[in-house]
Structure 1
């Protein structure tokens, strides 16, 4: 196993939209070869945080350091230059193109100034798909793929420039159980390939299944950071909702008890 060091660090990052404080004095550090899950209720600041990391939104205050050097993520291109790639919820594809063309959409390889290098793009697409060990083929029609396979293509698209950090916004949203398991496996493969992942996810079982650390956000601030092995569902849910851990545990026990109760007309 390679030595872990700090890959990216946010210090005191804040962002305001009018009267809304979307991010408030956020501190966050991600180590190399680490999956960090960011969780929180709607309006917690997760999307704004992702957009800052992707270079789509610039913070009003605070600093960002990549490998110890303070940087300004003022564009997606700058983020890519620094080894940060992002994939957002419900990725957009051109239904009339194959997987290879969609992976390179807007970033087509060319021979000279005008001739598109279809063979080169196909070969590179096969390479990044093989990195994930996915059965999706570069020449497949994107229209023929399932939701999970499309998310796989979105992840493959982030690998074109061999990034060190991949930011995923709800990568398992709206997927079936089987498709979700496949995508989670691909995310783990990213970590095995010496990459780090920041994953915004609302589904706590998925978070606990693969994350090394869990960052809990509430009202634009980071309210807790846990090594996954050192926390529980009850503790994380309590921090997300702002209620006591005891109250959450009581509700979960009551829900489990109701689920075990026989329905009317059923034998006990």
Structure 2
């Protein structure tokens, strides 16, 4: 009976590890609530909770793969950050933003000011729906960097982001695209439930939503990081690394596997960066 139970458990996860289905996306409210409670402070516990000494390492990647494609936009009147914590991701274009709202579950990852802007923090709803004042609930810029893979009901949340995006507005998404290991077991440096999101999952949603994919860039070929750092002292935060990572990720994108079971399969990009534009009505 034990062997049969274990076999059934393995078979029930095959479609998830093959990237056919996304684990958690079809959870009911009870399951979503449990997931949400487990993740609420989990990431905060992994990073430094003192924003005065926290260093944001992703600016060059965000600029190269995201913000550089928004140069024609002189000003964003109403920006929304999903799980943006201290809001440091907005700093490279802060002088072009008038207002910032941040959906953030953690009470420990918050800023009094981002540049000269006082951000408006809201707690996300467990069901994934966005609740805010009707007068300010449309956004011309939404950033979602490394957050969706912490959320169970990704389809609901993605469709909600597109709903509250103004026609002509931009949605920037950066996410891991592998399982990040077997989430059924403890993984060092990761929260209990996080798992990457298959690229086809994103592509299907964007196609159905009829939004414009301005740019899709593969990133995070971390197998090269140690080599670059050791040989050329190129650090992860540097502009040179961001450029090299983009190039290498494109070259090895043919070798992508959602669930990586060998070092060979890790010679591939581990993430994707989307710049999405909502088509005018």
Instruction: Specify the structure having the higher radius of gyration (Cα).
Output: 1
Structure with greater strand percent: 1
Structure with greater contact order relative to length (CA < 8 Å, sep ≥ 6): 1
TM-score (norm 2): 0.33
